[in-house]
Structure 1
Amino acid sequence: MKKLVLLAVIAALVIVFFYFDADRLLTLEGLKNGLSQFESWRSARPALVGGAFLLFYVLVAALSLPGAVIMTLAAGALFGLMWGTIIVSFASSIGATLAFLVSRYLLIDTVQNKFGDRLKSINEGIQRDGAFYLFTLRLVPVFPFFLINLLMGLTAIRAATFYWVSQLGMLAGTLVFVNAGTQLAQLNSLSGILSPSLLLSFALIGIFPLIAKKGLGVMRARRVYDGYQKPKTFDRNLIVIGAGAGGLVSAYIAAAVKAKVTLIEAHKMGGDCLNYGCVPSKALIKSAKLANQMRNAGHYGLDDAIPKFSFRKVMQRVHEVVAKVEPHDSVERYEELGVEVIQAYAKLVDPWTVEIKHSDGRVQHLTSRAIVLATGASPFVPPLPGLDDVGYVTSDTMWDEFAKLDEAPKRLVVLGGGPIGCELAQSFARLGSEVIQVEMAPRIMMREDEEVSELAKASLERDGVTVLTLHKALRCEKNGESKHLIVEHDGVEKIIEFDALLCAVGRVARLSGFGLEELGIETNRTIVTNEYLETGYPNIFAAGDVAGPYQFTHTAAHQAWYAAVNALFGHLKKFKVDYRVIPWTTFLDPEVARVGLNEQEAKEKGIAVEVTRYGLDDLDRAIADGAAYGFVKVLTVPGKDRILGVTIVGEYAGDLMAEFVLAMKHGLGLNKILGTIHAYPTWAEANKYAAGEWKRAHAPQKVLLWLGRYHTWRRGSPSKTAKVSKN
């Protein structure tokens, strides 16, 4: 109601302005005709006329009415250069700020709610450099100032900042117009004020802050190198430390563009994903799933069977899978691609020099124009008293430790309810372990919607996992050969006996041992980088888990492109890393896949969404495969088909998500998915049917009503009942 009242007041003032022909007065001809009258008023009552003039100018500027230029000329003609400049400077700034505030009050909530995701980078830029950009725009009178006022009101810039920057930035243009007003008699048109040469001068003035900012940036960049001697020549164009996904892709890109690149890895090529994470875990998940299907063969019309297997052979297969994938990330392959690979320990000794310690004791130093840090992450081990006494494994060490066992651990405790903990808990339960999963939070998989967490919990419990949420691990104890975990729930301590304990409570970036502390490279759980993945030293970059904010292999590879390209070509053109469309999958059974917003995030951020849901129990292929459970849930802009986020729970959810990732990346809506032919019967049809659910909900009912009447008319009037012949 308040907004409506304000709009009504503004509309009334505008109507009054034009009704009394004030727009005609605010023309060059009108000003000249009325100047003598204005001068007589000003001579009689200078203070009153000056005050009234200021207030009227404020009103014109606040309402974005035409005539501000004429009033600026009038100020020069009536009050002279000094007083005219003072009056106009304050009146224009106050009026601009009022227009700014009105725009913000009326529109900012609507604009930010509707286009907040698209405006995110603009908002961040305004918060960081808003005053600078506003000042640059104010210096050049070519830009319509009323438009700047209204648009700036839709950003997050502070009103006080907007006011003082506007007053300062408009001063040069104000002086030009007020000075022209002091010689009003010689003016025949407004075009005579801003000559081409004067416009060029203003443009140069506007460019100057940009040049100054660039210069300051260069100076700041050079200042961080104070105390270091930059080499005159370099051994390499790029050195990459770490051969996980981020490091491998960075090195590959550098070699592809014919840069001289060295990749240094102290341990295993392929990093965590190949050796401890993605690859071995998926191999284990597959074996566990097959064992579960054998137990439930009756679901497929077969006889249930108790799977007979050697756990040692299952783990042996895991290692064989890793060995088969290993050549993709091998030293030999990358050397064939043109990358120099060194297996040794690397440490930064200055911003351009890397010290390399080989296993035979040799120490080598290489210089490089740019360096990419891709040192990855390692499992976080909670500081539980007694943990070392009872022994534990992590998602890194379990593959070798459990490979020694003939049977899966009889009683396994899994600490952690995130994706890694859930995947491994289900797999070991299916392979015969009695699994207890302990999670301190109210539910497992806290980043997902609550219904997704509940489905995941139900799936785990169906496979025999005891899921304990809101249970805080306190300490570990060992009594003889018995091992115990002490947990607290509702203020009461409980004892959980186990044979093996798996810590899966998250991963932490590897930050020590690489010279970060010695160089003063800022860290905060991860290496702190800017939007170009630069550290505090503009030639040192970070990518992958060590850089955050995501710990996914595909995100590390995604970041690697930006890190490598900016490292090699940033002096020509830099690219800001794009995190808008990042998918991920938890490989439970059923799988949980996600991209963009989910419902709980939309609610937390105050983003209006429309939810469309398609149940996989209705999908023909899911029914045929005996996996008719789960759903596809799509979040869109209310009333539109633009996709804001998707969550899929079900068989092959991770694979199904690819179509939505493509659509979101390239701005394709649900109508485009609906119009795409999907082979029948496939799981991919679920995406099309989800789009169909959205379309059905937005069917134009009035149009359909009229179409029904049209088709009735086309059939003609109902015929009379035919008489039945007795013949």
Structure 2
Amino acid sequence: MRQTHLKRIGLIGLLALVGIGLWQGRSLDPQQLMQWIDGLGPLAWLAFIVLYAVATVAFLPGSLLTLAGGALFGPVLGTFVNLTGATLGAVLAFLAARYLGADWVRARAGARLGAILDGVEAEGWRFVAFVRLTPLFPFNLLNYALGLTRISLLPYLLATWICMLPGAIAYTWLGYVGREAAAGGEDLIRKGLLAMGLLVAVAFLPRLVKRWKEGQGPHWSIDDLHRRREEGETMTLLDVRDAKDFNGKLGHIPGSLNIPLPELAARLEELRADGHALAVVCNTDKRSAKAVQQLQRAGLDNAILVIGGVQAWKGRGWPLEQR
């Protein structure tokens, strides 16, 4: 009861903060902000990180802050403070959503929303990396939305920090060049062209991510595998872990065929004669990804990577076998 009361108080406080942020964000003056931060002296960079984190939680426009960070601290320190502040804010929003709303949303999610959440969770850090590299997704809202899933905090943090780096560099540099132009700095043409190049590179990231996703080849989520098995679809579930892992404490998915990855080349004809879809798993999906590539190079186009592997199956609470 007390925990529910605390959650309500926290939610009211968060909504008030977001409301203030949305209201004040319209009248935010970057010049006044920069003057105030600049007047803090040696602690300016630390204050800016805290400000950026709070602004992220409160839905203040992050692009203006990133440009201001570049103008205030230059391309190197500016990238650091911008990226650190944005990541810290993203983690705070993620944790707030998880603590205040994840259970409530899960309990009331319909079949469609539940399937979406399950699909996002199956992709895990890959989904976080994709949306961070693709600037089409609203950053502030996305932080809260991801908190409603069961994606682990550490993969979320690392994927956020790493995959926001290209955009942080580009916009920080743009803010730096803007201040140099206002001050009449030298070599502005070269710096301006570099800024444009960085922005173009960020704009092309979604296409590169799409090609990377396509390069993974056909794949199923663990939920796809479970659903297809429940529907009675004919397939061969191939587990490419070694025998020790296959029969070990974690166990294996019932009905799996165990062919360790080092033995795969010697048993290609056996799999070729099978003719069914080859759903390939391992503990997660590292060895299985290598196995799928090997099978496809050998002409077995029916090989399908199962994202998340046996660990994801276990995470859903579905049965496993040990021998």
Could you tell me which runs of 5 or more consecutive residues in structure 2 were left unpaired when the two chains were aligned: 183-191, 220-231, 237-242, 259-269, 279-299, 307-316, 318-323
Note closer, same or farther for the CA distance 1:14–1:537 as it changes in structure 2 (3 Å cut): same
Give the structure 2 partner of residue 215 of structure 1. Answer: 215
Contact conserved, 2:170 with 2:202, CA < 8 A, in 1? no
Contact conserved, 2:170 with 2:198, CA < 8 A, in 1? no
Task: Identify the structure with bigger relative contact order (alpha carbons < 8 Å, sequence gap 6+).
Answer: 2
Report whether the alignment pairs 1:526 with 2:255.
Answer: yes
Contact conserved, 1:136 with 1:207, CA < 8 A, in 2? no
Give the structure 1 partner of residue 224 of structure 2. Answer: none
Give the structure 1 partner of residue 132 of structure 2. Answer: 138
Give the structure 2 partner of residue 104 of structure 1. Answer: 98
CA drift of 1:99 comes to: 0.9
| Distance (whole Å) between structure 2 residues aligned to residue 6 and residue 56 of structure 1 | 20
CA drift of 1:201 comes to: 3.5
What SS does the corresponding residue of 1:141 show, helix, strand or coil? coil
| Distance (whole Å) between structure 2 residues aligned to residue 528 and residue 213 of structure 1 | 27
CA drift of 1:178 comes to: 0.7
User: Which residue of the other structure, out of 10, 14, 22, is the alignment partner of 1:6?
Assistant: 10
Give the structure 1 partner of residue 49 of structure 2. Answer: 54
| Distance (whole Å) between structure 1 residues aligned to residue 207 and residue 159 of structure 2 | 16
Alignment of 1:11-410 (within 5 A): 11-14=15-18, 17=21, 21=24, 23-25=26-28, 30-32=29-31, 35-36=34-35, 38-39=37-38, 41-42=39-40, 45-47=41-43, 49-63=44-58, 65-115=59-109, 117-185=111-179, 186=181, 201-217=201-217
| Distance (whole Å) between structure 2 residues aligned to residue 158 and residue 96 of structure 1 | 14
Q: Deviations over 1:624-673 (max 9, x none)?
A: xxxxxxxxxxxxxxxxxxxxxxxxxxxxxxxxxxxxxxxxxxxxxxxxxx
Give the structure 2 partner of residue 591 of structure 1. Answer: none
| Distance (whole Å) between structure 2 residues aligned to residue 35 and residue 163 of structure 1 | 28
Note closer, same or farther for the CA distance 1:196–1:144 as it changes in structure 2 (3 Å cut): farther
Note closer, same or farther for the CA distance 1:199–1:182 as it changes in structure 2 (3 Å cut): closer
Alignment of 1:230-629 (within 5 A): 525-527=254-256, 540-541=275-276
CA drift of 1:34 comes to: 5.5
Give the structure 1 partner of residue 313 of structure 2. Answer: none
CA drift of 1:81 comes to: 1.0
What SS does the corresponding residue of 1:212 show, helix, strand or coil? helix
Note closer, same or farther for the CA distance 1:540–1:178 as it changes in structure 2 (3 Å cut): same
| Distance (whole Å) between structure 2 residues aligned to residue 111 and residue 59 of structure 1 | 24
Give the structure 2 partner of residue 385 of structure 1. Answer: none
Note closer, same or farther for the CA distance 1:150–1:172 as it changes in structure 2 (3 Å cut): same
Note closer, same or farther for the CA distance 1:50–1:151 as it changes in structure 2 (3 Å cut): same
Note closer, same or farther for the CA distance 1:116–1:105 as it changes in structure 2 (3 Å cut): farther
Contact conserved, 1:131 with 1:161, CA < 8 A, in 2? yes
Give the structure 1 partner of residue 296 of structure 2. Answer: none
| Distance (whole Å) between structure 2 residues aligned to residue 138 and residue 99 of structure 1 | 15
CA drift of 1:9 comes to: 1.7
What SS does the corresponding residue of 2:276 show, helix, strand or coil? strand
Note closer, same or farther for the CA distance 1:34–1:112 as it changes in structure 2 (3 Å cut): closer
Note closer, same or farther for the CA distance 1:75–1:116 as it changes in structure 2 (3 Å cut): same
Note closer, same or farther for the CA distance 1:17–1:132 as it changes in structure 2 (3 Å cut): closer
CA drift of 1:215 comes to: 3.3
Note closer, same or farther for the CA distance 1:125–1:183 as it changes in structure 2 (3 Å cut): same
Contact conserved, 1:527 with 1:542, CA < 8 A, in 2? no
Q: Deviations over 1:556-595 (max 9, x none)?
A: xxxxxxxxxxxxxx969x9x9xxxxxxxxxxxxxxxxxxx
**Where is the strand percentage greater, Structure 1 or Structure 2?**
1
What SS does the corresponding residue of 2:60 show, helix, strand or coil? coil
Note closer, same or farther for the CA distance 1:525–1:89 as it changes in structure 2 (3 Å cut): closer
Contact conserved, 1:75 with 1:178, CA < 8 A, in 2? yes
Could you tell me which runs of 5 or more consecutive residues in structure 1 were left unpaired when the two chains were aligned: 221-245, 251-371, 374-516, 530-535, 544-569, 577-603, 605-727
Letter in structure 2 aligned against 1:24: S
**Where is the helix percentage greater, Structure 1 or Structure 2?**
2
| Distance (whole Å) between structure 2 residues aligned to residue 18 and residue 123 of structure 1 | 27
Per the normalisation by structure 2, the TM-score is 0.59
What SS does the corresponding residue of 1:156 show, helix, strand or coil? coil
Q: Deviations over 1:63-92 (max 9, x none)?
A: 2x2221111111111111111111111110
| Distance (whole Å) between structure 1 residues aligned to residue 55 and residue 97 of structure 2 | 15
Note closer, same or farther for the CA distance 1:108–1:116 as it changes in structure 2 (3 Å cut): farther
Contact conserved, 1:57 with 1:95, CA < 8 A, in 2? yes
Note closer, same or farther for the CA distance 1:541–1:68 as it changes in structure 2 (3 Å cut): same
CA drift of 1:7 comes to: 2.0
Q: Deviations over 1:523-543 (max 9, x none)?
A: 8542469xxxxxx96974279
| Distance (whole Å) between structure 2 residues aligned to residue 183 and residue 197 of structure 1 | 13
Who wins on radius of gyration, i.e. which is larger? 1
CA RMSD of aligned residues (A): 4.4
Contact conserved, 1:59 with 1:95, CA < 8 A, in 2? yes
| Distance (whole Å) between structure 1 residues aligned to residue 277 and residue 20 of structure 2 | 61
Note closer, same or farther for the CA distance 1:14–1:181 as it changes in structure 2 (3 Å cut): same
Contact conserved, 2:30 with 2:64, CA < 8 A, in 1? yes
Contact conserved, 2:25 with 2:60, CA < 8 A, in 1? no
